[in-house]
Amino acid sequence: MSRQPTELPPAKVALSDDEWRQKLTPEEFAVLRQAGTERPGVGEYVDTHTEGVYNCRACDAELFRSTEKFDSHCGWPSFFDPSQSDAVILRPDDSHGMRRVEVLCASCHSHLGHVFTGEGYPTPTDQRYCINSISLTLVPKKV
| Spatial CA neighbour of 72 closest among 26, 134, 129, 5 | 129
Instruction: Report the chain's C-alpha Rg in angstroms.
Output: 14
Q: Give the C-alpha separation, 61 to 85, whole Å.
A: 13
Note if 130 is an active site residue: yes
| Spatial CA neighbour of 141 closest among 77, 71, 65, 47 | 65
Q: Would you name the residues annotated as active-site residues?
A: 130
